[in-house]
Amino acid sequence: MRDQLLRDLAEQLAGGRLTIDDFVARAARSDVADLGDAQIDLDRRRRCGFPEVVYGEGKTVEQLAKIFDALVAAGVDVLATRVAAEKATELALRYPTAKYNPVARTFRIPLSTATAMPCGRVVIVTAGTSDLPVAEEARETALWTGAEVDLIQDVGVAGPQRLLAKLPEIRKADVVVCVAGMEAALPSVLGGHVDCPVIGVPTSVGYGASLGGLTALLSMLTSCAANVTVVNIDAGFKGGYLAGLIAARCRRN
């Protein structure tokens, strides 16, 4: 693993994408940053396409800051999910360039403002406005992967004409993330209109028989649309991450 990392760095140096000083600094680092209570995987981008993402819930501000510092030192654009507003307020004082999305509860520290060719196109579609927090988490994650992202809100099956009006825009996507609660019929309907993967993200939105999103999950899992796949309840991050992987591969191909 270490040999492969050094080979990758050497190729970047030879290709002019890395300075000598950067090569020396990155070659001197381990693949894992041992922070005591956290082990940060610094080689994940090379192995898996994108760097490690931080799950913020249950971590203190100090623990998050230590992890962020390790990622920033490794040249990683930081993404943390499920970060409470009060923690984000404290963290923003330490990282003035950070961007906090209070709806998504995501905390990002971008290291570069340079614009690059987007890694594919992701369209995120919500069935209702109440699904927005999960959709925003998916959107922030997909943006972090480098994808071009559009968000289309409130086009659920209770008013099917709303979806039909948006289909020309949706059909431009490499991958669609469909966020829906209640009976979660939208992914199946949407899947019958597009020629790309549809990632269903069930939400815990709904009344009693929605069972905290279980009904939406089972509905999506039993979808008759062959291009629909499903992630966990309220898992906007997972939907956005997978969409980013698919979109990046589509752009490379």
The CATH number of 121-252 is: 3.40.50.1970
Enter the pTM of the model: 0.84
Q: What is the pLDDT of residues 202-226, one digit of tens each?
A: 999 999 999 999 999 999 999 999 9
Mean pLDDT within 95-123: 85
Top-confidence residue, 18 or 94: 94
Q: What is the pLDDT of residues 131-156, one digit of tens each?
A: 999 999 999 999 999 999 999 999 99
Q: What is the pLDDT of residues 17-40, one digit of tens each?
A: 888 888 877 776 667 777 888 888
Question: What is the per-residue pLDDT for 210?
Answer: 93
Q: What is the pLDDT of residues 175-190, one digit of tens each?
A: 999 999 999 999 999 9
Q: What is the pLDDT of residues 225-240, one digit of tens each?
A: 999 999 999 999 999 9
Q: How many CB atoms lie within 10 A of CB 216?
A: 32
Q: What is the mean pLDDT of the chain?
A: 90
Structure tokens at 168: 């020309």
Task: Please name the amino acid found at residue 197.
Answer: P
In this prediction, residue 114 has a pLDDT band, given cuts at 50, 70 and 90, of very low
Residue ranges of domains in the chain: 36-114, 121-252
